[in-house]
Chain A
Amino acid sequence: MAAVGLALLVAALVLVVSGADPLVAFGNIWEYGSRLETVIESFNRATPLYLSGIAFAIAMRMNLFQIGVEGQYILAAFFAAYVGAGVGSLFPPLHIAIILLTAMIVGAAWAGLAGWMKVTRNVHEVISTIMLNAIAVSGLVSFLLGRWKIESESLDTRLGDIATTGWFPSLNPIVELATREIKRVELTGFILVAALVGVAYHLIINRSRLGYDLRATGANPWAAEASGVPPKRTIVLAMLLSGAVAGLVGMADLLGDQHFYSLRFPQGLGFAGIAVALLGRNHAVGAAVAAVAFGWLERASGVLEVRGDAPREIVTIMVAVIILFAVIAYALAQRRRRIEAAAAASAQVESAGGAGEADT
């Protein structure tokens, strides 16, 4: 709570320095942010952020610093858009399945490449994924986009449209049942897919044999190896899973909003996902909260720019400050919990009888 207060204080300072009245600005953010449309936009933004966070978290749970989500999702979205447009009109579930599968396979392959380099050539995943990001975004996608682009009236370089059978339905009708008529925006149905991925992530990582092996390797690779976890296979598997989820990151925009790939396709979601995973402590629910918070802050604070309270840069700084404080607060809380656990255990050890049960 203190962190939120401090964050607001610093944010206010930033606003004062930039010449805006913080109270008016905060009032505007709140007023705009609590509108149904803004909330929906926040969820739309949170959906890909969450998937990106989970993709990063999967690898992070076994101590792989997979920063290649960026390249994986863009490459995956590009190929998925190409295939999706190329197949024409199909039975809708089939069409969507083909697009999603393409995206997941491309994402997994691209991430798997980094995993393969790690186990065969001992290339650190940070290096390989950075390189693969560059190759994917500036290399492959730019090159192929140039060759596969279609002629259009707009100035945008783009691939062809995906037929309507490959569109993901919006959830507006359902939301409207509970609330009111929604203008301009549509709540992406893909949020359900993201939720499903979150549940699967939680179950697989925390409850399954595979997840146990993965976490064991993350906690102590030497002990995991001695326990029978095949180290190389587990690394490749973690990268494949992570890449498959990364492949889904761009799908909310592709299937729910744009329906084609172009130079203006959203970028940067892969890196934002790292912050989501870190803030959410690689936890399924934590990452969801973080993704929604990010989405909301970003959308709601945009009003400052629109109303001329503060320039875009100031808004960016403010959001960053708030995130920074949240991270620090979380780290401190974590540290305190750790110290308390150690104290409780050492107390137990020092006790003479010592077989009492107390969960920590």
Chain B
Amino acid sequence: MSVAVRLKGITKRFPGVLANDRIDLVVEAGEIHAICGENGAGKSTLMKILYGMQAPDEGSIEVLDQERTFSSPREAIDVGIGMVHQHFMLADNLTVIENVILGAEPSKGALIDFATARSRLRELGEAYGLALDLDDAVGTLEVGERQRIEIIKILYRGARILILDEPTAVLVPQEVEELFRNLRELKTEGHTIIFIDHKLDEVLEIADTITVLRQGRSVARVKPEDVTAQDLAELMVGSELPTPETREATITDRTAVEVKGISVVDEAGVTRLRDVGFSVQCGEIVGVAGVEGNGQGELVEAILGIIPVSEGSIHLHGDDVTGWSVRQRREAGMGYIPEDRHRRGLLLPAPVWENSILGHQTRRRFLSSRVWIDDEASRDHASNVVERFDVRTPGVHTPVHALSGGNQQKLVVGRELAIECNPLIAAHPTRGIDVGSQAAVWEDLRRARAEGLGLLLISADLEELIGLSDTLLVMLRGEIVARLDPARVTPRELGAYMTGAAA
């Protein structure tokens, strides 16, 4: 078999840090090659080097047996390398076809030749089973569909070697299967795929070869049939790992948050939540399972007070807070981990320390008087979060947009946990963070629960839900369709409830 990409002795230094340390990587043509490693193992830097976004200090890059040096992604694209980033780069108010051809428009005189673009895209779509309606506005599409657009975008530019940066981090299980089908299709067409991931089951399922990075070095190159998920995890972290299990009950008789028969109707008049009721006790974790878009987002926003409920009431530590503002609810102790950290959880241009008090800026401990923020106390708090939750940042004054996705997530989770909120409304708290940090977050959630935290946990990771929850609710089309005992349910059964197959 020929070699698609050969990286030899890639070394990349940043001031005072060795990000990549003599990494070797061989990707054969026509294979799906997974690169695993913790956040900070050097995966992204390596891929940025291959894609021409950064130049290596040492080492060589060979693509299809030709030595190359890229000074920009454009040069990498020219030799057939394309990359789908973790955060999609799409314009929401343009249509699918406009997004795909953006920057590479076929032209007819001064006009864009949409007819040619359309027929080429249709060909691509059919060849790889990537079905898309070309005239939909991208803003209206689901995450999985957006990802497909990104893939088509790079195929349209002639990529033969595709780099996907944590493509499954944003997908629900069904979408992951769809993606994997597409990837296999691409493989049979002769494309080479480099796949960054740290969900080990997925890696074992899809990859032909796996390279494991740890602390900037390549530590193993294995075939999936020769290793177990446990082996891989230990290669990545270098030690043994805990699982998300919680066993001994710590439930108390104090109610942290109670939702009584709430319904939510959106601006278009569509009912998004119908008669949802449950309670979360202090010391209890209530998990909410469901395919994304079945009302979980509305449930969270209604509890937080961002959107109004049309019926029913919400109670916080016994008080009826249905008419309270978000701020009043926050001041009464409500914590929030949003499903989309960039949208709801962070001020990207602001420094780490300012972000570390976001949502709690009116708390006494961060204020030096009624009017002024206590900068020093806030910075101390930020340092504490950074240290306790292993947020890798040069300092508390660094703007958050400079942090990697995993570290941003750790900052968001750490902020809520360090402030000791109760209840905590958490949507996908471990999304996008590596196995080591994931285990640490689980441990922190469990400890907080033992100390009396009432946690409402919305997650797409079924093992996380089953492992952590004391009670499991399943949402489908805005309603709670099942209450399950996590000790007695398997991911398969749960999946059946989520899709409505079991009743």
Interface size class of A (residues with CB under 8 A): 35 or more
- Residue of A with least CB distance to B406: A349
Q: In the complex the two chains form, is B358's CB within 8 Å of A349's CB? A: no
Contact for A225 among B16, B326, B399, CB less than 8 A: B326
Q: How many residues of B contact A (CB 8 A)?
A: 63
- Residue of A with least CB distance to B401: A342
Contact for A349 among B16, B39, B325, CB less than 8 A: B39
Question: Does A265 belong to the interface (CB within 8 Å)?
Answer: no
Q: Tell me the complex Cα distance, A350–B18, Å.
A: 7
Q: In the complex the two chains form, is A230's CB within 8 Å of B371's CB? A: no
Contact for A220 among B17, B330, B346, CB less than 8 A: B346
Closest 5 CB pairs of A and B: A347-B14, A350-B19, A228-B327, A345-B402, A352-B215
Within 8 A of B (CB), among A339-355: 341-352, 354-355
Q: Which residues of B contact A307 (CB under 8 A)?
A: none
Q: In the complex the two chains form, is B330's CB within 8 Å of A346's CB? A: no
20 other A-B residue contacts (CB within 8 Å) besides A219-B348, A224-B347: A209-B362, A209-B373, A210-B371, A219-B350, A220-B346, A222-B343, A223-B345, A223-B358, A227-B326, A227-B360, A230-B326, A338-B399, A342-B402, A346-B404, A347-B394, A348-B394, A355-B387, A356-B16, A356-B394, A360-B395
Question: If A207-B372, A219-B348 touch, does A346 touch B402 (CB 8 Å cutoff)?
Answer: yes
Q: Which residues of A contact B326 (CB under 8 A)?
A: 225-230
Question: Does B8 belong to the interface (CB within 8 Å)?
Answer: no
For the complex, would chain A's binding face be called helix, strand, loop or mixed by DSSP majority?
A: helix
Question: Does B254 belong to the interface (CB within 8 Å)?
Answer: no
Chain A interfacial positions (CB closer than 8 Å to B): 207-213, 215-216, 219-220, 222-230, 338, 341-352, 354-360
Q: In the complex the two chains form, is A360's CB within 8 Å of B330's CB? A: no
**Chain A nearest CB, measured from B476 CB (Å):** 25
Kindly name the residue among B343, B367, B398 whose own CB sees the greatest number of chain A CB atoms within 10 A: B398
Q: In the complex the two chains form, is A351's CB within 8 Å of B40's CB? A: yes
Q: Which residues of A contact B393 (CB under 8 A)?
A: 345, 348-349
Q: Tell me the complex Cα distance, A348–B397, Å.
A: 14
Q: In the complex the two chains form, is A207's CB within 8 Å of B373's CB? A: yes
Q: Tell me the complex Cα distance, A329–B20, Å.
A: 34
Q: Which residues of B contact A212 (CB under 8 A)?
A: 354, 361, 373
Question: If A215-B350, A346-B14, A352-B216 touch, does A227 touch B358 (CB 8 Å cutoff)?
Answer: yes
Question: If A225-B306, A226-B344, A341-B402 touch, does A347 touch B361 (CB 8 Å cutoff)?
Answer: no
Binary interface profile of B, 313-339, with partner A (CB < 8 Å = 1, else 0)?
A: 000000000000111111100001010
Q: In the complex the two chains form, is A344's CB within 8 Å of B325's CB? A: no
Q: Which residues of A contact B392 (CB under 8 A)?
A: 348-349, 351, 354-355
Binary interface profile of B, 154-185, with partner A (CB < 8 Å = 1, else 0)?
A: 00000000000000000000000000000000
Binary interface profile of B, 415-429, with partner A (CB < 8 Å = 1, else 0)?
A: 000000000000000
Question: Does B469 belong to the interface (CB within 8 Å)?
Answer: no
Question: Does B209 belong to the interface (CB within 8 Å)?
Answer: no
Q: Tell me the complex Cα distance, A229–B325, Å.
A: 9
Q: In the complex the two chains form, is A228's CB within 8 Å of B331's CB? A: yes
Q: Which residues of A contact B367 (CB under 8 A)?
A: 209
**Chain B nearest CB, measured from A298 CB (Å):** 33
Q: In the complex the two chains form, is A341's CB within 8 Å of B398's CB? A: yes
Question: Does B44 belong to the interface (CB within 8 Å)?
Answer: yes
Q: Tell me the complex Cα distance, A88–B392, Å.
A: 66
**Chain A nearest CB, measured from B152 CB (Å):** 28
